[in-house]
Amino acid sequence: MASYTDDFLLYKTESLSQFLEKVDFLFESMHSAEILLFPRSIRLTVSKQLVAASMELKSNASNDFSENGFGYPRRKKKMQTHGLTGESLQFKLQMFDAFFRKFVEKGGMGSLNDVLDIVKSILGSLASAYGILSAITELIDMIQKLLGEQQKRVLENESAF
């Protein structure tokens, strides 16, 4: 797992590339905690998917999504339509930062699930505008389903005592 500083984790996310770097941190965190998060029967499969997603995030984080980069002129309308420019993008990144910060500071499956909802929304916009990262949004859906099942089991075990 890459080494992340508190400064990196808690600074304001100002670009889609920085967003993808932080999402990579989330995936690496889930990979590190796989024994706690996922049932044994599918842990290896989920682990492989998290590693593959992390590699894809890293490769796309190096793209320049600004007005000067990565196909912007021909994708400008799609980026605007999907809220990936100006105030719409800043709002999405601020929402991400709020939930990401909560996860980094408090941890827990609930806060992980909350930040994954925001991640899925932004990645969905990127997938629509650029045709990238759509498989990761599907992986997040599956992970959220697994996290929900794990939370139910924890609550059932707690109520037994």
Model confidence at 101, pLDDT cuts 50, 70, 90, reads very high
Q: What per-residue confidence (pLDDT) applies to 74?
A: 75
- What is the pTM for the complete model shown? 0.86
Residue 1: band (very low, low, confident or very high) from pLDDT cuts 50, 70, 90: very low
Residue 116, pLDDT score: 97
pLDDT digits (tens, 9 = 90+) for 22-40: 999 999 999 999 988 888 8
CA 66, CA 109: separation in Å to the nearest integer? Answer: 33
Pick the more confident residue, 54 or 6. 54
What pLDDT band is residue 119 in, cutting at 50, 70 and 90? very high
Average pLDDT over residues 74-78: 81
Total number of residues shown for the chain: 161
Which positions ≥6 away from 42 have C-beta within 8 Å?
146
Q: Which residues of 84-99 are buried (b: 16+ CB within 10 A; e: fewer)?
A: bbeeebeebbeebbeb
Query: Which tokens belong to 5?
Result: 């500083």
